[in-house]
Amino acid sequence: MREISVAEIEGILIGNAQDEKGATGCTVIICPEGASAGVDVRGAAPATRETDLLKSVNMVQQIHCVMLSGGSAFGLAAGNGAMEFLSERDIGFDTGVEKVPIVCGASLFDLDMGEKKHPDLEMGYEACRAAFDKEELRQGNYGAGTGATVGKWFGSERMMKGGLGIYAAQVGSIKCAAVVAVNCLGDVYDTETGKVLAGVMSEDKTEILSTDDFLLKTLENPHNLFNGNTTIGCIITNAKLTKPECNKLASVTHNAYARAISPVHTSADGDSIFVMATGEIPVMADALGVLSVHVMEKAIANAVKNADNRYGVKTASEF
């Protein structure tokens, strides 16, 4: 296994757009020729777009775009910008009347960061332009990770900065990458060392504590969790997968969330993973699951390691 650039996965374009003052943004993953796709939504508070059509029993077999965005449910509007951009380039599902771009997506909650601004049609369009122009793809406080935060047991008081993470690897001819915006209620861990990278801080903000420990103390005291969360991501591969295999791969890849984030898949998270497969190379799907989990774990770590504190929220690099 060797690390590669995500740009080495042919047929896939990725772009970011953000509003720094609004502390929000979006990240688009485009496959102009269409990709087999799947999704698995595990969190109980999702904001998603066109996930029903990804069910294995439904008609559409390929999609053209996944839009990851901030802005909570408002941010789903960024997908309309992708629709417009792709339609202008005659990319989409041929209905016999006109081509309809198939744009799936999910949004995370960042409404408590920055000025009042949400990803919209214009921002989604700009992310697509950045993707087609092959602009530098940055991690941390960019795209869907611009306003992302983690460790929110005490709300915004003792949270740390999340962000956008990317990682790609190759085994033989198979390439696989993960793009993820980490905005979890829980804490983020390095899966190789077990060390906590970012999460809920102590009251004096000098150490990172355990959200699991705080949660267990409430076991017999039911109450509502802070609802400004959600980690959303996408796996990209050049493997040849069926739609059911894409859905299964999305499900398996949630193992990475469970290894790198704790607690995860809570009632206050909308944790979701998409899969896009360009269909170039036959693959053993179960073996691809191992690779997919690996790249997602690495991308999650990159998300917090690359974040900076431009919004006055402490980062992993400060510990």
* Predicted confidence (pLDDT) per residue in 83-125, tens digit: 999 999 999 999 999 999 999 999 999 999 988 899 999 999 9
Q: Tell the burial category of 164 from Cβ atoms under 10 Å away from its Cβ (0-12, 13-18, 19+).
A: buried
Domain of 271?
2-318
- Gap between the Cα atoms of 172 and 86, Å rounded: 32
pTM tops 0.75: yes
CATH (domain of 286): 3.60.70.12
Q: What is the number of domains present in the chain? A: 1
Q: What is the pLDDT of residues 234-275, one digit of tens each?
A: 999 999 999 999 999 999 999 999 999 999 999 989 999 999
pLDDT value, residue 180 = 99
Going by pLDDT thresholds of 50, 70 and 90, the confidence category of residue 185 is very high
Average pLDDT over residues 159-176: 98
Say if CB 7 and CB 134 are below 8 A apart: yes
Q: What is the mean pLDDT of the chain?
A: 96
pLDDT cut 70: percent of the chain above it: 100
Q: Tell the burial category of 115 from Cβ atoms under 10 Å away from its Cβ (0-12, 13-18, 19+).
A: exposed
Q: With b meaning 16 or more CB within 10 Å and e meaning fewer, what string describes 7-24?
A: eebebbbbbbbbbbebbb
Say if CB 16 and CB 119 are below 8 A apart: no
pLDDT at 227 over 80: no
pLDDT at 220 over 90: no
